[in-house]
């Protein structure tokens, strides 16, 4: 089984300003980006920084008009990069699903003796839906204290 927890890619832009060619390129750890809840357009900041640009430079203004090109994906990102385009919505959904499975897998092991939920898609689906329902209704899942009494 290949490592699906890592998700990296290279983000790059090519643009010209006053006769000079700029080609910033950075390695992006999508797992960290998702954990920090950064939007995809955040990548312009580190791309600019990689060549010494900040938001107050004219070159930066030209750079952000260009589309970011994505290449060399690894892990989960491999399924969501094609022809230089990252399907960020699809990646985000798959990443969130992966995070949920990593939370419910130990529960399935402990209570159902299932060491790999991927082998039991119906059970995995039911557990994911239960997890999501609990996230949408957090008051329903909290246990009430039995030690305090209003009397």
Q: For 111-120, b where at least 16 C-beta lie within 10 A, e where not — what string?
A: eeebeebeee
Range of the domain at 112: 96-137
Higher pLDDT, 4 or 133: 133
81 shares its domain with 15: yes
Q: Is residue 148 part of a domain?
A: no
Q: Is the dihedral of CA 57, 58, 60, 64 positive or negative?
A: positive
**pLDDT higher than threshold 90 for residue 151:** no
137-147, pLDDT tens digit by residue? 777 655 554 55
Of 109, 129, 110, nearest to 119 by C-alpha is 109
31-88, pLDDT tens digit by residue? 999 999 999 899 999 999 999 998 899 999 999 999 999 999 999 999 999 999 999 9
Q: Is residue 143 part of a domain?
A: no
110 shares its domain with 73: no
**pLDDT higher than threshold 90 for residue 128:** no
Model pLDDT, residue 1: 33
Q: Is residue 20 part of a domain?
A: yes
Most distant CA pair in the chain: distance in Å? 80
62 shares its domain with 26: yes
Question: Which of 86, 116, 145 is where one domain is finished?
Answer: 86
76 shares its domain with 101: no
Q: Is residue 149 part of a domain?
A: no
Of 50, 34, 144, 15, nearest to 86 by C-alpha is 34
16 shares its domain with 61: yes
115 shares its domain with 46: no
User: Which three-class secondary structure string do you get for 47-111?
Assistant: HHHHCCCCCCCHHHHHHCCCCCEEECCCHHHHHCEECCEECHHHHHHHHHHHHHHHHHHHHHHHH
2-37, pLDDT tens digit by residue? 344 689 999 999 999 999 999 999 999 999 999 999
Q: Is residue 1 part of a domain?
A: no
The encoded tokens of residue 41 equal: 């357009």
**How far is it, in rounded angstroms, from Cα 76 to Cα 74?**
6
Q: Is residue 106 part of a domain?
A: yes
19 shares its domain with 51: yes
């Amino acid at each position: 089984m290949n490592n699906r927890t890592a998700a990296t890619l290279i983000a790059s832009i090519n643009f010209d300003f006053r006769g000079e060619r700029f080609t910033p390129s950075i390695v992006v750890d999508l797992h960290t980006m998702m954990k920090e809840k950064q939007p995809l357009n955040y990548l312009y900041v580190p791309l600019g920084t990689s060549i010494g640009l900040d938001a107050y430079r004219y070159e930066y203004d030209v750079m952000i008009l260009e589309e970011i090109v994505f290449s060399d994906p690894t892990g989960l990102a491999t399924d969501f990069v094609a022809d230089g385009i990252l399907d960020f919505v699809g990646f985000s959904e798959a990443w969130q699903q992966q995070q949920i499975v990593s939370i419910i897998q130990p529960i399935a092991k402990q209570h159902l003796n299932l060491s790999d939920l991927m082998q039991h898609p119906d059970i995995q689906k039911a557990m994911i839906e239960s997890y999501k329902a609990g996230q949408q209704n957090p008051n329903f899942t909290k246990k009430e204290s039995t030690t305090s009494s209003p009397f």
